[in-house]
Amino acid sequence: MMKLDFLTLFPEMFEGVLHSSILKKAQEKEAVEFRCVNFRDYSTNKHSSVDDYPYGGGAGMVLAPQPIFDAVDDLVSKSENKPRVILLCPQGERFTQRKAEELANEEHLIFICGHYEGYDERIREHIVTDEISIGDYVLTGGELGAMVIADSVVRLIPGVLGNTTSKIEDSFSTGLLEHPHYTRPAEFRGLKVPNVLLSGNHAHIEEWRTKQSFKRTLERRPDLLEDYTLNKKEEKWMQQIKDEMNQEN
């Protein structure tokens, strides 16, 4: 069972997310265990404060090291495995599907969700194994980022998703964006499902889907193709797609 601990000043923020949809089912299947820990409970300050003014002056307050160090030490001491300690931070590595797949192989993850102006640098330097950002923008705290990462990681745990091929075919898992999907009816308001999907020819369907993935990636995220190695068949498809796109323009 994977364990995910969230160190946060606002544990109530996690209630709806952790007890709904796939994350709820993952817990029911005993594939994962979630714990929300208020690191204010570890403060030794008489006012239970967790932040202080920054040395050298400046705007905002900085999270102090003592409550977070003690909280992480406590969780690590109770862990059967050495956990990855993840700091949610705008300066961190940008979160990707590849990172989600990497983290899904771990037994224990600890997320540090900060607030205020930032963290005491000693937290970053001495207890954190990963710094992660979910995008190039700033949120009021790390909670939403931790929820995003948790959702992305937990769905990759074996047995969590009903269809085991879903996670393999997801956008980014193959290095490409996912192909279009259709369902019944075959015609809706005069809009028809592509004939190939109704043909029953699985080889043709698979080829169509792969070509559509290439086309969608080329149109929307051409940067993903920079690190993608095309085989000879795919090179031919890509040229066909480019020719078709040029004709459309």
Kindly list the catalytic residues: 90, 117, 155, 170
Q: Which residues contact 70 (CB under 8 A, 6 or more apart)?
A: 42, 44
Annotated binding-site residues read 114, 134-139
- Strands (E) across the chain are located at 2-8, 32-38, 51-52, 62-63, 84-94, 108-112, 118-119, 130-133, 187-188, 191-192
Domains contained in the chain, CATH given = 2-154 (3.40.1280.10), 174-248 (1.10.1270.20)
Q: What is the pLDDT along the chain (249 residues), one digit of tens a residue?
A: 999 999 999 999 999 999 999 999 999 999 999 999 999 999 999 999 999 999 998 888 999 999 999 999 999 999 999 999 999 999 999 999 999 999 999 999 999 999 878 899 999 999 999 999 999 999 999 999 999 999 999 999 999 997 654 555 565 778 899 999 999 999 999 999 999 999 999 999 999 999 999 999 999 999 999 989 999 999 999 999 999 989 887
pTM, full prediction: 0.88
Q: CA 40, CA 48: separation in Å to the nearest integer?
A: 6
